């Protein structure tokens, strides 16, 4: 829950300005970007995600380092990714 | 050195370890608290203490949100979960946390509709799909997760999803740190500040720690190198006679935090006059509740919450572990009656809890080996 997981913004969702499609550890899902409103989040940007919300923008090097680190910590990260995969939070069309 | 070759920048780690040793005054001991459970995890996993001089000690703080939830709040949540036509939701971390007699998992096995979610928005979706049920989200966490709950409540209000409510157990980090600073049990020389909480609150709220208590604080990242760099920054301040707040994790943490998140928080939530923390007792103005304007989404107003109070089990010393007074292995039941499979205390439940981290990774740390060979 407390782990920040990096993700790469793939596309913005046209009719839902709070949502972006994001690639997270190979999983594609919708992430709420309302808390980064006004920061011009665009495809190709990297963000740090907590419980389905982007809390900060990071650069690609930090994203890669953070991912490597998370993969190294084992069970806690696997649990978080399992939960994320099972979560179907408001994909476009569902919200 | 154990593990050091696995670090990103192993050469840098060795150089830092040497600089850290050079900054330590002979005959003086240094005790630093890492506030955040994520840091505790890194420290045990990577054996960070093995790279520090003998006179530098790290103690673990209260920054594990699952660990500080008192058993009474778990029992209150289970009471809500047993109400007719009610679905209780929470994060996976919450499922095995023991209440007075049961955990969420136990209650689920007995028939309560309890569902694990990754995000509060998942709970909102369940409410949208089950309009004939009352859906409660048990919200836990420090300022890292609280804004997400706040935005979810705003959304529920906008959609008029009045079958969705939040059982709010969000806590704030500053009063907990202040309680530790005011506690006579512990003498600290500085703090490693929490990385992700600071993404939201920024670095300003820590300034009183330096200004009023004379302790330096360095906001730290989560990699082994981050921890070593932050310890180096703390020691450098002490060596130079400075005392201030520094941000080692500036690549992620803005000095001013996330103003949007803070605005959402203050729109939806307000400070409670008091809140009981597991092990730390009642701390005034240390937790958040839903504001009156969002009463329809506040489980404590929608339901009759019993307000159960349960004394912590006497065998469990989570309180002392959370305050940094005891190391996990000094607790009487550690690793015997209390294990990650059958936790008695919360510190053994969460992967960020000091006891679980130590149980999984830390058995051969410097101090443990020294104490084992002494007996």
The 10s digit of each residue's pLDDT in A15-46 is 898 999 999 988 899 999 999 998 899 999 99
**pLDDT the model gives residue B367:** 61
Domain regions of chain A by residue span:
5-86
Q: Is the pLDDT at A95 greater than 60, yes or no?
A: no
Q: Give the ipTM.
A: 0.90
| Measured distance CA(B152)–CA(A8) in Å, rounded | 23
Of B55, B57, B93, B58, nearest in space to B74 by CA: B93
A57 touches chain B (CB under 8 A): no
Handedness of CA A73, A78, A79, A83 (dihedral sign): positive
Q: Count the neighbouring beta carbons within 10 Å of the beta carbon of residue B186.
A: 15
> By the 8 A CB rule, do B124 and B161 touch?
yes
**CA B192/CA B226 separation, integer angstroms:** 10
Of A2, A37, A58, the CB nearest to B352: A2
Closest partner CB to B65 (pick from A2, A69, A86): A2
Q: Are B126 and B89 within 8 A, CB to CB?
A: yes
Candidates A14, B130, B141, A43; CA nearest to B122 is B130
Output the pLDDT for position B168: 98
Share of chain B above pLDDT 70, in %: 94
- Above 50 in pLDDT, residue B338? yes
Q: Confirm or reject contact between A32 and chain B (CB < 8 A).
A: yes
B167-208 pLDDT, tens digit each: 999 999 999 999 999 988 778 999 999 999 999 999 999 999
Q: Which of B269, B245, B268, B271 is nearest to B257 (CA)?
A: B245
Instruction: Please report the pLDDT score of residue A3 as a whole number.
Output: 76
Picking from B198, B298, B295, the residue whose alpha carbon sits closest to that of residue B251 is B198
Chain A residues touching B41 at Cβ < 8 A: 73, 76
Instruction: Among A60-64, B125-129, B157-161, B363-367, name the one with the lowest average pLDDT.
Output: B363-367
Could you give the C-alpha distances from B373 to B1, B140, B355, B369, B370, in angstroms and in order? 20, 40, 21, 6, 5
Read off the pLDDT band of A2 (50, 70, 90).
low
Q: Do B125 and A88 touch (CB under 8 A)?
A: yes
Separation of alpha carbons B81 and B114, rounded Å: 7
Residue scoring higher pLDDT (A80 or A37): A37
- Does the beta-carbon distance from A52 to B119 stay under 8 Å? yes
**How many separate helices (H) and strands (E) can be counted in chain A?**
2, 5
Average pLDDT over residues A8-12: 96
Among chain A residues, CA nearest to B351: A76
**Is a pLDDT exceeding 90 seen at residue B298?**
yes
Predicted TM-score (pTM) of the model is: 0.91
Q: What is the pLDDT of residues B7-58, one digit of tens each?
A: 567 788 889 999 999 999 999 999 999 999 889 988 988 889 888 999 999 9
Structure tokens at B10: 């192993």
> Are B38 and A2 an interchain contact pair (Cβ–Cβ within 8 Å)?
yes
* Residue owning tokens 């979810």: B152
- Phi, psi (5° rounding) for residue A22? -130, 140
Q: Where are the beta strands (DSSP E) in A33-88?
A: 46-50, 53-58
Q: Kindly give, in sequence order, each residue whose CB lies less than 8 Å from that of residue B238, ignoring residues fewer than 6 positions away.
A: B23, B30, B189, B190, B216
Contact B142, B269 (CB under 8 A): no
Say how many CA atoms lie within 13 Å of B354 toward its Cβ: 27
Cross-chain residue pair A2–B264, CB shorter than 8 Å: no
CB contact under 8 A, B144 and A55: yes
* DSSP E strand boundaries for chain B: 30-36, 56-63, 86-90, 114-116, 134-141, 164-170, 190-193, 217-219, 245-247, 269-271, 274-277, 281-284, 288-290
Which chain B positions have a beta carbon within 8 Å of A50's beta carbon? 144-145, 148, 196
Shortest alpha-carbon distance between residue A41 and chain B (Å)? 14
In the prediction, which pLDDT does A26 show? 83
Contact B90, B104 (CB under 8 A): yes
Domains of chain B: residue spans and CATH: 71-171+287-302 (3.40.50.11740), 312-360 (no CATH)
pLDDT at B96 over 80: yes
Detail the DSSP E strand segments found in chain A: 5-12, 19-24, 27-32, 46-50, 53-58
Fold of A5-86: SH3 type barrels. (2.30.30)
**Residue B56: CA count within 13 A, CB half-sphere:** 23
Average pLDDT, rounded, for chain A: 85
> In this complex, which of A53, A59, A65 lies closest to B148 when CB atoms are compared?
A53
- At A1 the pLDDT is 63
Chain A partners of B45 at a C-beta cutoff of 8 Å? 72-73
Of A51, A75, A88, the CB nearest to B351: A75
Q: What is the mean pLDDT of chain B?
A: 91
DSSP tag of B278: T
Nearest to B196 among A2, A72, A84 (CB): A2
- CB-based contact B113:B81 (threshold 8 Å): yes
């Amino acid at each position: 829950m407390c782990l920040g997981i990096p993700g790469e913004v793939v596309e913005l969702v046209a009719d839902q300005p709070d949502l972006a499609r994001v690639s997270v550890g190979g999983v594609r899902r919708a992430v709420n970007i309302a808390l980064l409103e006004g920061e011009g989040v665009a495809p190709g940007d990297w963000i740090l995600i907590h419980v389905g919300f982007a809390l900060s923008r990071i650069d690609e090097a930090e994203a890669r380092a953070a991912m490597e680190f998370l993969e190294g910590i084992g069970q806690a990260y696997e649990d978080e990714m399992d939960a994320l995969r099972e979560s179907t939070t408001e994909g476009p069309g569902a919200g | 050195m154990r593990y050091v070759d696995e670090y990103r920048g192993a050469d840098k780690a060795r150089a830092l370890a040497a600089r850290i040793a050079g900054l330590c005054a002979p005959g003086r001991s240094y005790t630093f608290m890492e506030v955040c459970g994520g840091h505790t995890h890194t420290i045990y996993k990577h054996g960070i203490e093995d790279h520090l001089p003998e006179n530098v000690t790290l103690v673990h703080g209260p920054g594990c949100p699952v660990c500080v939830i008192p058993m009474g709040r778990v029992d209150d949540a289970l009471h809500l979960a047993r109400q007719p036509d009610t679905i209780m939701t929470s994060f996976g971390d919450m499922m095995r946390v023991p209440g007075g007699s049961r955990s969420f998992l136990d209650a689920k096995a007995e028939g309560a509709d309890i569902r694990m979610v990754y995000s509060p928005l998942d709970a909102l979706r369940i409410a949208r799909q089950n309009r004939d049920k009352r859906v409660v989200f048990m919200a836990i966490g420090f300022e890292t997760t609280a804004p997400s709950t706040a935005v979810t409540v705003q959304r529920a209000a906008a959609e008029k999803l009045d079958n969705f409510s939040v059982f709010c157990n969000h806590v704030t980090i500053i009063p907990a740190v202040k309680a530790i600073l005011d506690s006579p049990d512990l003498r600290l020389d500085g703090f490693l500040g929490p990385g992700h909480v600071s993404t939201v609150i920024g670095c300003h709220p820590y300034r009183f720690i330096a200004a009023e208590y004379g302790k330096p604080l360095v906001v730290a990242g989560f990699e082994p190198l981050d921890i070593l760099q932050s310890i180096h920054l703390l020691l450098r301040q002490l060596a130079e006679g400075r005392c201030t707040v520094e941000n080692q994790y500036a690549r992620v943490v803005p000095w001013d935090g996330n103003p949007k998140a803070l605005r959402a928080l203050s729109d939806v939530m307000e400070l409670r006059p008091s809140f009981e923390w597991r092990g730390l007792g009642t701390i005034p103005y240390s937790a958040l509740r839903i504001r009156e304007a969002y009463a329809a989404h506040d489980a404590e107003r929608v339901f009759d919450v019993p307000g159960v109070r349960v004394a912590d089990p006497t065998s469990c010393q989570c309180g002392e572990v959370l305050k940094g007074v005891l190391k996990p292995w000094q607790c009487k039941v550690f690793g015997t009656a209390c294990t990650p499979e059958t936790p008695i205390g919360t510190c053994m439940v969460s992967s960020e809890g000091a006891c679980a981290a130590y149980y999984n990774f830390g058995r051969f740390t410097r101090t443990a080996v020294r104490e084992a060979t002494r007996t």
